[in-house]
Amino acid sequence: MAQFRQRGKTWTFVVDMGIDPLTKKRRPQITKGGFKTKKEAQAAARIIELEKQNGTLIKESNIPFENFAHDWLKTYSRSGVKVSSVRAREKEIKHFIKVWGPYPISRISRKMFEERILELNEQYSHNYVDGINACGRMIFRKAVDQGLIKTNPTEGFQLPKKQKTVEELEKEEEEIIFLEKEELAHFLKLSQKDGLEMDHLVFTVLAYTGLRIGELLALKWADFSEKQGSIRITKTLYNPNNNYEKYQLLTPKTHGSVRTIRIDDMLISMLKRHRIKQNEIKLKNNIVYKDNGFIFAREDGHPQLRKVMETRLKRLLNKAGIKRNITPHSFRHTHTSLLIEAGVGIKEIQQRLGHSDINTTMNIYAHMTKNMEEKASQQFSKLMKDLLQ
């Protein structure tokens, strides 16, 4: 039974929670005051007693947000998610801990959560804040599931779309950078003539397959079928610290990224010659060679570093006189442009590139075709100008 007492002009109730059947110890009483009348205090106490009777009573926890967030991250990291996802959540949590660290998780209101997200939305990109918002939802949902809080402060909140600036829109236009067909031919000839070990093969495979650089560096000989003329993509190399021994093989970016793609006779011949040369290196360095079957292996058998290939690419671009910011990913866009020019359909391009969402393919397709239309217009104008002179 609840007890009631008057303190000054307000009333307070005390509800006895009884004995905990597991610990055999008396549970802490629930006390709440500030009611204007005894009747109001009795009504509030009755709700507590009914929840206790029905087994739905939640005594909100005073655990600091920082403690719970770190505990949640440990559980999240053991749930089979990618290491890169854990790192992303770790960074996102810091934006909450910065302002709520020692604050009890049960006292964080919806208003506090919304204000924090809107504040971050003014500082960072929409995609980044969307990730922070999703991280917050996961943390508070878990707190509700564990009975630490009654209501989820993230429930029903929608991140408003951020109005992009002119500079951001211009930057978006610049993101899809690729080599023209003639530039690619010039670059690949140069990589064959002046490239370092594996340069010509790496950049040719990137240009002829549209693989992501992580997918390429994770390829093993078991993924290559000479008979079928294909490459199977089932993994990607994760090595953020560029330590040749401390790498991880993760599942690809999306479910659609797991795919088998056909390659032409030229690439098949190049890979066969590379395998012969690699076998010679294995014999030469057999004491230190760690043979894990990687196609693009260093001379010690470990997969080549992404940073090394980026540095080598810059070297060759300088020699080729190409000033644009071409990256390994630009070869993926280059491959897409060549597929479009060859008349390949959007669905086939989507499957070859491993896009789960066809809208991703459509956006790149639209950008590429626009560029080709402008180029065609310029070529037509030049033709007519030459004729009329």
pLDDT in tens, 237-256: 988 888 888 888 988 767 78
- What's the angle, vertex CA 14, arms to CA 9 and CA 15, rounded to 5? 150
Instruction: Say what the pLDDT of residue 134 is.
Output: 93
pLDDT at 205 over 70: yes
How many residues are present in the chain? 389
In the predicted model, is pLDDT for residue 108 greater than 80?
yes
65-102: burial string, b at 16+ Cβ within 10 Å, e else = bbebbeebbeebeeeeeeeeeeebbeebbebbbeebee
Neighbouring CB atoms inside 10 A of 143's CB total 24
pLDDT of residue 177: 84
> pTM for the whole thing?
0.61
Between 385 and 10, name the one with better pLDDT.
Answer: 10
Q: Assign 377 a pLDDT band (cuts: 50, 70, 90).
A: low
Mean pLDDT of 16-37: 77
Residues 145-158, mean pLDDT to the nearest whole number = 86
* Amino acid at residue number 358: I
In whole angstroms, what separates CA 213 from the centre of its chain?
15
CB 204 within 8 A of CB 268: no
Name the range with the highest mean pLDDT among 172-181, 196-205, 344-353: 196-205
pLDDT of residue 382: 67
**CA 313 – CA 321 distance, rounded (Å):** 12
Read off the pLDDT band of 50 (50, 70, 90): confident
Read off the pLDDT band of 81 (50, 70, 90): confident
Which one has a higher pLDDT value, 303 or 17? 303
Which residues, at least 6 apart from 39, have a Cβ–Cβ distance to it below 8 Å? none
* Confidence check: pLDDT of 318 > 80: yes
Determine the average pLDDT of the residues in 59-77: 87
Instruction: Note the pLDDT of residue 55.
Output: 60
pLDDT greater than 90 at residue 226: yes
pLDDT tier at 187 (50, 70, 90 boundaries)? very high
Can you tell me the mean pLDDT for 161-183? 67
- Does the pLDDT of residue 292 top 60, yes or no? yes
Residues 6+ apart with CB under 8 A from 225: 231, 232
Task: Find all residues with CB under 8 Å of 341, minimum gap 6, and list them.
Answer: 181, 372
At 40, is the secondary structure helix, strand, or coil? helix
Closest to 133 (Cα-Cα) out of 171, 161, 102: 161
Judge whether residue 48 has pLDDT over 90. Answer: no
| Tokens 């993926």, residue located | 332
